[in-house]
Amino acid sequence: MEIKSKFLCSKGVALAFAMLLGGSPGVLLYANDSVEESLMVVQTGRTIKGLVTDANGEPLIGCNVVVIGSNAGVITDIDGRFTLNIPADAKQIKVSYIGYVDQIINLHDRSDFKVVLKEDNNALDEVVVVGYGTQKKATLTGAVEQIGSQVLESRAITNVGAALQGATPGLVVTRSSSRPGNEGLNFQIRGLTSVNGGSPLIIVDGVPVLNSESFQNLNSDDIENISVLKDGSASIYGAKAANGVILVTTKKGKGKTTVDYGFNMRFTTNGIMAFSPSMQEYASMWLEANKEMPEHDWWGWGEENLKKMAQGIEGIYESTVADWGTMFVGNANRLDELFARRYSYQHNLSVAGSTDKSDYRISLAYADNQANLATAYDGQKQLNLRLNYGIKLTDWFKLETSASMIKTNTETPTHGIDRTLYGNDAPFFPAKNPYGQWYANFGNVGDRNAAAATTDGGRDEREKLTTRVDFKALVDIWKGITFEGTASFQNEEYRRERYSLPVQCYNWFGEQTAKLVYETTQTLSTPQDVLNFKDSHQPGYLVQANNARYQYYSGLLKYKRTFAEVHNIDAMFGINAEKWVTKKVVTAREKFEDAGIYDLNLATGTQGNGGGKTHNGTYSYIARLNYNYAEKYMVELMGRRDGNSKFAPGYRFKSFGSVSLGWAFSEEQFVEFLKPVLSFGKLRLSYGSSGNDVGLGDYDYVSTVSLGTAGFGTIPANQVSSGFGGLISYDRTWEKVSQKNFGIDLNFFDNRLKATFDYFIKDNTGMLVNVTYPGVLGGKAPKTNSGHLNVKGWEFTIGWRDQIKDFSYYANFNIGDTKSLLKEMEGADSYGAGWNAAVNGYPLNSYFLYRTDGYFKNQAEVDRYYALYGEGKEDLTGVGAGSASRLRPGDTKRLDLNGDYKISGAGNENSDLQYLGDSNPHFVFGFTLGGSWKGIDVNAMFQGVGKQYVIRNDWMAYPFQTRTANQNPTYLGKTWTESNPNAEFPRLTTYANLARWNYQNNDFMMQNNRYIRLKTLIVGYTLPQIWTRKVKLEKVRVYFSGNDLWEATSIRDGFDPEMGAASNNSGYPFARTWSFGLNITL
């Protein structure tokens, strides 16, 4: 007798019961959804069994296995296995799973099956996170890119922001260093928006973060996906969205309880360091620079000494400068002494799962990331804790709670390795003398030993604790009407302790030197310039404490229904309020009797203190309406009205909004003939306006009066006086940035090939700019909304994904470009030689340079040049015919472009300067290639820039910018000599004015900073479950991951392409990271 149990339920409950009871005899499930077939396990015919996995061999839980032509079926268990009794006349079975392509299998006489399902490339049903909700990708009308968690997995870095380099078009991530905690990351979406700067609004789980660091320091293992809103779709965030929006969604628990543990050990090696000279190279440059000079300049070296150094002869040298005295000179490359391999590690642990009533995920991560400095600890320790919990209290009410903590401890030497240390430290002097003492550079000088400064010159310790608690209530009211209420509380405590010590050095013979190694900039200072001590010879101690608190409240009423199966409506209305409060206190003192004990009360020298408190609040109304007809014709309307306490009462509110349209033309009858090739096609059009409040103070509408003294009277004397802080403006408001966007999405060949193209125009027509008033005003004038900046650009992505039996592979490429044009800005009509931030009629960050015509071939050419342009005529002053720095054969020949017989650098119509480009990155691209086969997975991501012009600045910008500086050896063999008249660069000279003429702001010094870099390489192997199950483990994966392992660049002067124009920080090379990791799932 056959007994059957019967259940009537929804398709979701049917799946849950099937997963629990899959394979159990006599269970019949009826799902009350006509789309899904009922599944029945029958006890007739013969029995078959099998295993269902993905391409990596991972079992797929809950797959439908049904007999075609019958309602018999079953669902795979937690091991991906199934057992099914089939009718005697059954011919085929169908295996299906969400996100994978259905597979039909001929039975024949087989009874055991291994089924490998192929991922479904049709992502039209994919849900994309957008502002205040989600949308199906098929009906999305805005320019929104979603980055999956796979981009962040197994990376050899912990900074989430750095991991996004090259991940998606339109999002440009730049950095100034690879030092943990000091990367100097900058984010731009679709280029610059204002001369006042600005960065994207970053939102985690629907709530803005306190600052960019709160996003960068997230545990990447906690992130489910990241969406980037680039066009009018960002308008839903109103006054803060002019620079785009980054939306981060964190992971929640799903399915049965799992425990995941990950460990990563990594080490760093030095990257590009070609700018650092050897002793021979340094001396050779000095010898070459003096060849053609009538008056030789050997500084304190002497010609014979330099000749010996150029031959690599180490030993005792006598200087021609009395202060230097007798010294030992050796081949001491400072970078080799300062940097070495350093190790870092990271642990991740998470527990996640769900039931029919609740879901939960708790994670813990700890990382110790070290930079490659060998002389002292330089790095960041980071602890992350997160809990996401949701519980369905009733059928119509669900409560979600999230709590997180991020604690970072960043420790660095007080003294940086900038131009004051490395840049001025010639490669002759070992770090220590034979007695183990810090060896003084330049004999008895002793103020520039970078190894001594970083080891014993003090420490800078920064501790930051960020906590956040979110509460969200979800109420299902009635027939598609829902309510969502959110409250978030964030707090950040920041503490900094910094002490600075002068370091005593010794000559080669163990005698103390006259000078100490000290920081030649301010000994104690803060980013806010609260303190600015300049007595750098004294030990100093600084303590700083900051606190930032942020509260967020929102209430959203949503409505979502489908009528007549084709009319889809999704509407939302809501309000939200925010409040910020910041406090800071900083104090410092100098001169400690005991340099080993640091307490403010023990100092006897200069003292200072400062601080401040600010608060700010906003209140907003939000509305959105989405409609689509049969997912073919789409329209979206969004509006927002923001109020901000930064403005005077009565002027605090401003409205923003957008409209976007979409047309899925691939669903039209007239393109039916393209179906074998074209899987999907959609056109998008949008217009929206957003705001930018960068450059606005919290209290700019308040007029202030300050008391002081001023000298006046019949007999001038200091008198008590008062003055106002500046004019105020009531009608000044946010910058308003409008954006037009046209886009097209195309999928081909069963969605295996996908491409997207967008063209956009941004206009900032109310940009805040300074206004020039006569000096008699006696105060500072307020900025006005009178500037105009235009930005145009485009983005393109193309990707291919496919699977051939057990082998799946993918390739994706993205590229984008923007170009700005400053149309109106008061006081921006003139320009100077070199880089200019803002000039009307040109892109932001433009270069205006001298055009040149090679080098003077002989003295006759030099004489004719002087005869034409004459001594004392503007820029020829420093290289006049009668000076020691007079021009000679091999020097640069600058052109007189306007024919006025002057070589002029005046930034007007009489100038000989010419616009030659800008320093903004162009054609920023990313390329990803990967695949997997039987547990082996490989992923490589390349990132780069197609065009970015750079003119190097500061002390190592060109040879002998100052003779006291270190020299860049990449110029050797490339400069003009009598035997090399067609050289790439003019002749070398130690004369500063002549070196400046030859190199600075000349057209040939502009470099195209294009590069391609292997940003990430990951090779992993997942052990077969037949092995891991024996030791009670669900999954074990081992992998290698590398970061910045290789690059090709057109930079000629030996610097890293990501360093930008600066040479001051040249002492810190970018690092390559090599890591090995392990992932275990219980």
Q: Is there a common fold for 5-116 and 127-266?
A: no
DSSP string, 307-368: HHHHTT--EEEE-SSTTT-EEEE----HHHHHB--EEEEEEEEEEEEE-SSEEEEEEEEEEE
> At the topology level of CATH, where does 5-116 sit?
Immunoglobulin-like (2.60.40)
**For 90-119, b where at least 16 C-beta lie within 10 A, e where not — what string?**
beebebbbeebeebebebeeeeebebbbbb
* Structural contact between residues 438 and 506, judged by C-beta atoms closer than 8 angstroms: yes
Q: What distance in Å separates the CA atoms of residue 279 and residue 444, rounded to the nearest whole number?
A: 19
**pLDDT value at position 299?**
86
Structure tokens at 520: 């030649």
Six-digit token string for 552: 């967020």
Model confidence band, residue 857 (pLDDT cutoffs 50, 70, 90): very high
Q: Which of 981, 978, 962, 985 is nearest to 1053 (CA)?
A: 985
Cα–Cα distance measured from residue 43 to residue 24, given in angstroms and rounded to the nearest whole number? 11
| Predicted local confidence at residue 24, as pLDDT | 37
DSSP code per residue over 964-1005: TS---GGGTTSB-BTTBTT-SB----S-HHHHHHHHTTBGGG
CA 637 to chain centroid: 31
Q: What is the mean pLDDT of residues 589-594?
A: 76
User: Distance (Å, rounded) from C-alpha 574 to C-alpha 557?
Assistant: 6
Let me know the angle formed at the C-alpha of 66 by 61 and 69, rounded to the nearest 5 degrees: 170
Q: Say yes or no to pLDDT of 316 above 60.
A: yes
Give the highest mean pLDDT range of 32-41, 61-70, 240-249: 240-249
- Which of the listed ranges 118-132, 329-343, 526-540, 665-679 does the model predict with the highest average pLDDT? 665-679
Helices (H) and strands (E) in the chain — how many of each?
A: 10, 56
Mean pLDDT score, 833-845: 95
pLDDT at 548 over 60: yes
d(CA 786, CA 767) in angstroms, rounded, equals 6
| Phi, then psi, of 651 in degrees rounded to 5 | -130, 20
Name the 3-class secondary structure at 741. strand
Residue range 974-1009, pLDDT digits in tens: 999 999 999 999 999 999 999 999 999 999 999 999
Rounded Cα distance between 109 and 986, Å, is 84
Q: How far is CA 731 from CA 650, 693, 699, 767, in A?
A: 9, 14, 14, 14
- Report pLDDT for 420: 59
- Nearest-angstrom CA–CA distance, 66 and 93: 5
Second-level CATH architecture of 127-266: Beta Complex (2.170)
Torsion of CA 9, 13, 15, 16, to 10 degrees: -140
Lowest mean pLDDT of 139-153, 525-539, 624-638, name the range.
525-539
Residue-level pLDDT at 1063: 66
Percent pLDDT > 90 in the chain is: 58
Neighbours of 1030 (CB within 10 A): 8
Count of CB atoms within 10 A of residue 923's CB?
Answer: 13
Over residues 329-383, the pLDDT tens digits come to 998 887 888 889 999 999 999 999 999 899 999 999 999 999 999 999 999 999 9
pLDDT tier, 535 (very low <50, low <70, confident <90, very high otherwise): very low
Q: Is the pLDDT of residue 85 over 80?
A: yes
Other Cβ atoms closer than 10 A to 370: 22
d(Cα 36, Cα 472) in Å, to the nearest integer?
33
Q: Which residue has the higher pLDDT, 845 or 952?
A: 845
- Give residue 19's pLDDT: 36
User: Is there a contact between 745 and 778 (Cβ–Cβ < 8 Å)?
Assistant: no
Which residue ranges make up each domain of the chain? Answer: 5-116, 127-266
> Quick check: 295 pLDDT over 90?
no
pLDDT tens digits for 105-131?
998 888 899 898 887 766 556 788 998
Q: Does the model's pTM come out above 0.85?
A: yes
* 38: confidence class by pLDDT, cuts 50, 70, 90: very low
Strand 834-836's sheet: what is its strand order?
834-836, 846-850, 913-918
pLDDT digits (tens, 9 = 90+) for 964-977: 778 889 999 999 99
Q: Are 84 and 47 in contact (CB under 8 A)?
A: yes
| Highest-confidence segment of 500-514, 686-700, 917-931 | 917-931
Residue 66 has pLDDT above 80, yes or no: yes
Residue pair 1038/935 in contact by the 8 Å Cβ criterion: no
| 44 — pLDDT class (breaks 50, 70, 90) | low
Model pLDDT for residues 795-813, shown as the tens digit of each residue: 999 999 999 988 999 999 9
The residues near 990 (Cβ < 8 Å, ≥ 6 apart) are 286, 289, 290, 293, 297, 299, 960, 963
Beta-bridged to residue 395, according to DSSP, are none
**pLDDT tens digits, residue range 195-223?**
998 899 999 999 999 999 999 999 999 99
Give the closest residue to 151 by CA, choosing from 1074, 814, 948: 814
Position 1071 pLDDT exceeds 80: yes
Query: Cα–Cα distance between 190 and 171 in angstroms, integer?
Result: 7
Give the pLDDT band of residue 7 (cuts 50, 70, 90).
Answer: very low
* Higher per-residue confidence, 939 vs 827: 939
The sign one gets for the Cα dihedral 169, 171, 176, 181 is negative
Does residue 531 or residue 474 have the better pLDDT?
474
Phi-psi sector, 108: left (phi>0), alpha (psi -120 to 50), beta: left
Indicate whether 37 pLDDT > 50: no
| pLDDT score, position 881 | 80
| 381-395, 712-726, 942-956: range with lowest mean pLDDT | 712-726
Residue 753 has pLDDT above 50, yes or no: yes
The answer to whether the beta carbons of residues 145 and 227 sit under 8 Å apart is yes
Average pLDDT of the segment spanning 541-568: 95
**pLDDT-based confidence at 35, cuts 50/70/90?**
very low
pLDDT digits (tens, 9 = 90+) for 439-471: 988 877 777 888 888 999 889 999 999 999 999
pLDDT value of position 421: 62
User: Whole-angstrom Cα distance, residue 366 to residue 464?
Assistant: 15
Q: Which of 54-63, 265-274, 305-314 has the highest mean pLDDT?
A: 305-314
Q: How many Cα neighbours within 13 Å face the side chain of 871?
A: 9
